[in-house]
Amino acid sequence: MKNVLGLRCIDCGKQVPAEAGTYTCPSCGKKGGIMDVEYDYKEINRLTSREQLTQSKDYSIFRYLPFLPIGPDSARPHLRVGWSPLYKPQGLGKSLGMSNLYVKDDGQNPTASLKDRASIIAVIKAVEEKAPTVAASSTGNAASSLAGSAAAMGIKSVIFVPSRAPQGKIAQLLIFGATVISVQGSYEDTFRLSAEAIERFGWYNRNAAINPYLVEGKKTVALEIAEQLNWQVPDWVILSVGDGCTIAGVWKGFKDLYNAGWIDRLPKIAGVQSTGCCPLVDAFLEDRPWTPKEENTIADSIAVGVPRNPDKALNAVRESGGTMVAVSDEAILDAMRELGRTSGIFGEPAGVTGTAGLKVLVEKGVIGADEKVVSIVTGNGLKDVQNAIKAVGEPIKVEPSLKELLVKLEGKV
């Protein structure tokens, strides 16, 4: 990987080679500090250019191979991950009072979430390191994405999920042939047990807050946004936040492009959580260290009371000059309805939390009505049909009678 200089600890700044088995900083105590992958931008520009990349016929994250920490000849799964559509839905823009709103629908990935971007990198790195099994803990989406990528790569997966994980995501895991461990406890309990098991059995660790390569997959959503906007950087990018890895990846993607000289400015980043579980929003708004919170929200994919990548997430928002906001579960359900009704995009609760937060920030004047904004929908609504029904209610039920139909349709169509 001539394009990779090494790994740097975000806590102490120590730099180490990007070697197999090195994920956390060896100088930061027993737990180790979280690392960042550092690139040789001169080498990246030697390998490719904006003009060359724009001509690429590889409509997946691998069109950005010089920006990724994998060998050029490494085996890859056949799944098409990335290059999700970037829409400009006029109806949603009008509903929110915005003239320049875009929606990046990452629910179009193979297992229907942004997490596929990270998991495909995980299985490639696992095979590079000759690991026969990959494992992770997850509230749902990272789990199903890992199981799908592992199945496509021909390796085994062991997934730990909290008991509240939606059945749609559990079904995906089992269909993909994963060994599924349903932990009868919180996400924190699930993460802890997975960490103990991974150490005991020597499985490849897909947990994005531990493995620095996973953020590199997630950052490709930012590379796509920049390219799809013809390298004209938006004023804001807004998305939901759980562990903090995805928002950190978005910021890193834009910074990599900036450092390589491919864009001339950086966007502001806005992170959104549910009021039922918002440890990072509270820490940001109150300018204090984060503290654990209860996991009490319908947005299961971001119901993380003890975030594992808080520093990268908070750094991303602060460095960008952005902000954070928490929204109620009722606002999230409303965003599901509004996004679907005005744009034809079906997002799960965590997937539309960014859109719910955008509405609040526009109403408060934090984000201007004419600013160019990209809202990332991180997961498809079919992952959580139960909450989708809660958002919209039941269908109109009638007997097979036109007379009854006319009565029940009165005032509705």
pLDDT tens-digit series, residues 111-131: 999 999 999 999 999 999 999
Q: Examine the domain organization and report whether 233 and 376 are in the same domain.
A: yes
Q: Examine the domain organization and report whether 321 and 174 are in the same domain.
A: no
User: Which of 202, 220, 245 corresponds to the end of one domain?
Assistant: 202
pTM above 0.85, yes or no: yes
The CATH code of the domain that includes 195 is 3.40.50.1100
275 annotated ligand binder: no
Q: Examine the domain organization and report whether 365 and 294 are in the same domain.
A: yes
And the tokens for 58? 């590889």
So what's the pLDDT on residue 1?
A: 79
Task: Confirm whether 269 is domain-assigned.
Answer: yes
So what's the pLDDT on residue 126?
A: 94
Task: Confirm whether 31 is domain-assigned.
Answer: no
CB contact set of 324 (below 8 Å; sequence gap of 6+): 241, 270, 271, 272, 273, 280, 281, 284, 285, 317
Cα(365)–Cα(118) distance, rounded to whole angstroms? 34
Task: Confirm whether 42 is domain-assigned.
Answer: no
Q: Examine the domain organization and report whether 318 and 170 are in the same domain.
A: no
- CA-closest candidate to residue 342, choices 370, 369, 377: 377
Q: Examine the domain organization and report whether 188 and 229 are in the same domain.
A: no
pLDDT tens-digit series, residues 59-93: 999 999 999 999 889 999 999 999 999 999 999 99
Cα(314)–Cα(268) distance, rounded to whole angstroms? 13
Cα(388)–Cα(335) distance, rounded to whole angstroms? 11
Task: Confirm whether 70 is domain-assigned.
Answer: no
* pLDDT bucket at 31, cuts 50 / 70 / 90: low
Q: In this structure, are strands 156-162 and 133-137 parallel, antiparallel, or unpaired?
A: parallel
Q: Give the number of other Cβ atoms within 10 Å of residue 256's Cβ.
A: 22
Q: Is the pLDDT of residue 181 over 80?
A: yes
Q: Examine the domain organization and report whether 136 and 182 are in the same domain.
A: yes
* pLDDT bucket at 187, cuts 50 / 70 / 90: confident
CA 204 to chain centre: 20
User: Which of 202, 229, 250 corresponds to the end of one domain?
Assistant: 202
Q: Is the pLDDT of residue 32 over 70?
A: no
Q: Examine the domain organization and report whether 235 and 197 are in the same domain.
A: no
Task: Confirm whether 263 is domain-assigned.
Answer: yes
So what's the pLDDT on residue 49?
A: 96
Q: Which residue has the higher pLDDT, 151 or 11?
A: 151
Cα(80)–Cα(109) distance, rounded to whole angstroms? 7
Cα(214)–Cα(209) distance, rounded to whole angstroms? 8
Domain range for residue 370?
Answer: 86-112+212-392
Task: Confirm whether 189 is domain-assigned.
Answer: yes
Q: Examine the domain organization and report whether 161 and 285 are in the same domain.
A: no
pLDDT tens-digit series, residues 188-198: 899 899 989 99
pLDDT tens-digit series, residues 317-354: 999 999 999 999 999 999 999 999 999 999 999 999 99
387 annotated ligand binder: no
Task: Confirm whether 148 is domain-assigned.
Answer: yes
What is the domain count for the chain?
2
In degrees, rounded to 5, the angle at the alpha carbon of residue 288 between the alpha carbons of residues 282 and 290 is 60
Q: Examine the domain organization and report whether 150 and 297 are in the same domain.
A: no
Q: Is the pLDDT of residue 178 over 90?
A: yes
Mean pLDDT of the chain: 93
What are the C-alpha distances in Å from 246 to residues 174, 182, 241, 250, 301?
25, 24, 7, 6, 12
Task: Confirm whether 67 is domain-assigned.
Answer: no
* pLDDT bucket at 96, cuts 50 / 70 / 90: very high
Q: Examine the domain organization and report whether 242 and 354 are in the same domain.
A: yes
pLDDT tens-digit series, residues 38-49: 999 999 999 999
Q: Examine the domain organization and report whether 231 and 352 are in the same domain.
A: yes
